Structure 1
């Protein structure tokens, strides 16, 4: 399986369950690993056949900054759903990092893996 990845996409977001967190922006680092058949794009050298990671990055950034969230778990689910639905990605691994959230830990966060079938009704 081919994969396209985005590492350390930095987003300033309103994220957190505590009242003080709802008044500030905090840094999230987002990693995406997405299944994609790269062969057609590679053979034709045609961007329209590739998974455009710039477009994916922009869509994810817009989603995360567009509204406040309390939980990184919620952000991870919304990101997975967006990428699968909007970009027709068959499988995705989403890691949401919230550095500095816990004293004496360099980083905390969540990681999920989802497939298209997880979002079929």
Structure 2
């Protein structure tokens, strides 16, 4: 199975468990991978035969900016579920980072993997 990816997608969002965090925006950083069979698109040259990178980025932006989130875990899970449903992918990996959240640490975050990554012929 092939993988389509987005690296270093940055989105400003309200996320955090503390009251003061719910009043500010922070930059979040995403690495996203989706399983896809890209062979048809390779031959057709048509965007409709593959996963549209911009549509993936827009779907993530819509989730992240729709409402405040308390935990990165719940945000990552919602993104994974949405991408799998919207793009029909059997597998997704989401790496979500929150730079500067902990003093002395460049970035904290979570990485989740959902679904099954099958091997291709």
Note whether the superposition's TM-score is higher than 0.5.
Answer: yes
TM alignment of 1:80-119, pairs within 5 A: 80-115=80-115
Tell me what 1:119 maps to: none
SS in structure 2 at match of 1:112: strand
**Residues 1:26 and 2:33 are matched in the alignment:** no
TM alignment of 1:1-121, pairs within 5 A: 1-115=1-115
Normalized against structure 2, the TM-score is what? 0.94
Q: How far apart, CA to CA, are the structure 2 residues paired with 1:90 and 1:52?
A: 16
SS in structure 2 at match of 1:98: strand
Structure 1: segments with no counterpart, 5+ residues: 117-121
SS in structure 1 at match of 2:27: strand
Q: How far apart, CA to CA, are the structure 2 residues paired with 1:42 and 1:90?
A: 20
Aligned pair count reads: 116
CA deviation after TM superposition for structure 1 residue 8, in Å: 1.0
Structure with the higher strand share, 1 or 2: 2
CA deviation after TM superposition for structure 1 residue 11, in Å: 0.7
The runs of at least 4 aligned residues of structure 1 exceeding 2 Å deviation read: none
Question: What is the CA RMSD across the aligned residues, in angstroms?
Answer: 0.8
Q: How far apart, CA to CA, are the structure 2 residues paired with 1:87 and 1:60?
A: 12
